[in-house]
Amino acid sequence: MSNTHPSNRHFIMARSWIKENFVNLLVLAFFCISFIGILNHEMWRDELQAWMIARDSSSLINLFENLRYEGHPGLWHLGLYVITRFTSNPFWMQIYHLIIATATVYVFARFSPFTRLTKILFSFGYFPFYEYSLISRNYALGVLLIFIFCTLFRKPDRNYIIFSIILTLLANTNIYGTMIAIAIGATLVFEVILEGNINRILADKKNQRIIGIVIFFIGVGGAIIQMLPPPDRWHGADWKLDLDIERLTQTISTIPKGYLLMVWNYIPMSDNFLFNLFIFSVLIGISLILINQRKALFLYVSGTSLILLFSYTKFIGYWRHYGILFILLIACLWLSYNSNSENYNNYNNSKSQKIFIKRFIDLFKRNKVPLIILLMFIHLAVGIRFFVRDLIYPFSASKAVATYIQEKKLDNLIIVGYPSSRVSPIAGYLDKKVYYPQQNSFGSFVVWKKDNMKEMTTQEILEHTYKINQNNPNQSLLLITNYSLEENDEITFVKPNISISKKSEFTRSLFEKYYLYIVKR
């Protein structure tokens, strides 16, 4: 007869049940908490821009025509296009995005080799829990495909056609997915070279490899063609090719920003080039030591280099873009865990190595798991902070404005919005076209042409409004701006012809504040 106390026995059984169902419990917790998050998240222009492009495209051909000025391939928009054939409510985009984010956590928790604590911390860290969960963009889809690749890469029996399909999909998520897909493709080639006897390796699954290569090049090539900017695009058409220390400082700072997040902003000298270079070198060096496996190292170096090169020459980016550097690090640590491939342990026999260098490397290798957990704790703290902030404060005032317009029966008025890049999310929530003075036309999503982004004076905006009002002399107009129209000479100039009265203002939000005016002849 067992001497175990009944309460202890129940505790042991409960703990055993939790261990057996760890993945399901983690995924369920992530989904439920994130669902609460999206119910309280007000989408902003970058989220609703993709939704409106998909919603207002009359066909797939028209969809890709509308994507010309976006700078993104169309995989995310294709999914939204399907959804918009059934509903015009953008909430379903959030549900679609949440499913992708939850699937990412499932793949990571189920198949990655990290500890349970690491999996919990990562899942509720800043990028998976906030940036790639609450904010509905195409980046979460790329992270999911990267983790699916990591899962399949570690399996002994590979299907290279499936590999190529995954890389093709990854390349068509966004430019960062394209660069990582190219780096992964190069890593697969490096793997063949590393293993030697190329003829024998290439003969194995020859047809699979040939078909896979064709799919890969078509997929990556198609993604690049979609992202090529037209010459009249507002931004993204120019390249930065000269040496600029300030630009170089911003570029190398993307590593500490991606790894250490907003903690980096509170570190003194975080904008100093030499200090940035030092921290950059330390973080890269530690990462190389922790990865410590040739194929994973090749992927890390090639992928990171491509992203940094793009950041300097084309687009520095924001936090969501820095996160791809962090995700690449996690993927490479994943691939290097328990690998049967040759690791870099030969430094012990090298006479040229200094003792302190060997001890330094040993120190980080011995503390690999604690270092990863420490990094994850930073991401957890920042993730919870931003998640709670999103619950307390409106992310954008666009949803509140749209609700107000509907409640006050103002949606039957012609709506004039300036600037278009700020007012467009209101068009997304209202499912209604707005007149944009910058474009001199009605529309919903923003077309990022140079001519459409020109700044306008208050007088010019009001003159455009007056012209529309001339065509509808008995109808009031609703003018929405992101700044207050203070009484000045510009307003006085047009006031004899029209009257302007402030209806309301919405300024309690983190981004995108609005002022509403009724304009009459």
Structure confidence by residue, pLDDT tens digits, 454-465: 899 888 888 888
Say what the pLDDT of residue 349 is.
Answer: 46
Q: Is the link from the previous residue into 419 a cis peptide, with omega within 30 of 0?
A: yes
Boundary residue ending a domain (228, 245, 276): 228
Percent of the chain past pLDDT 90, that is, above it, reads: 65
Residue 461 is assigned to a structural domain of this protein: yes
Average pLDDT over residues 78-107: 97
Residue 345 has pLDDT above 60, yes or no: no
Query: Model confidence over 280-326: pLDDT tens digits?
Result: 999 999 999 999 889 999 999 999 999 999 999 999 999 999 999 99
Single out the residue of 500, 451, 452, 511 nearest to residue 478, CA to CA.
500
Residue 88 lies in a domain: no
The whole-number pLDDT of residue 487 equals 61
- The pLDDT-based confidence of 350 (bands split at 50, 70, 90) is very low
Q: In the listed set 228, 255, 274, which residue is the last one of a domain according to the structure?
A: 228
Q: Is residue 131 part of a domain?
A: no
State which residues form the domain around 426: 398-520
Q: Classify residue 294: in a domain, yes or no.
A: no
pLDDT at 1: 47
**Closest to 124 measured CA to CA, from 3, 231, 2, 26:** 26
Please report whether residue 404 resides in a domain.
yes
- Least-confidence region, from 73-87, 170-184, 353-367, 460-474: 353-367
**460-510 confidence digits (pLDDT tens):** 888 888 788 776 677 889 999 998 887 655 566 565 667 888 899 999 998
Domain boundary among the residues 178, 209, 228 is at 228
Number of domains in the chain: 2
Q: Would you list the DSSP string of 123-171?
A: HTSHIIIIITTTS-SSHHHHHHHHHHHHHHHTSSS--HHHHHHHHHHHH
Residue 508: inside a domain, yes or no?
Answer: yes
- Of 68-77, 203-212, 226-235, 395-404, minimum mean pLDDT range: 203-212
Question: What distance in Å separates the CA atoms of residue 367 and residue 352, rounded to the nearest whole number?
Answer: 24
Which contiguous run of DSSP H or E holds residue 479?
Answer: strand 477-481
pTM, to two decimals: 0.91
- Confidence at 30, pLDDT banded by 50, 70, 90: very high
Single out the residue of 447, 433, 428 nearest to residue 90, CA to CA. 428
Residue 77 CA to residue 238 CA, distance in Å, equals 25
Within a domain: residue 163? yes
Residue 242: inside a domain: no
Looking only at the bridges linking them, the beta strands covering 514-520 and 477-481 are antiparallel
Cβ contact 448:69 at 8 Å: yes
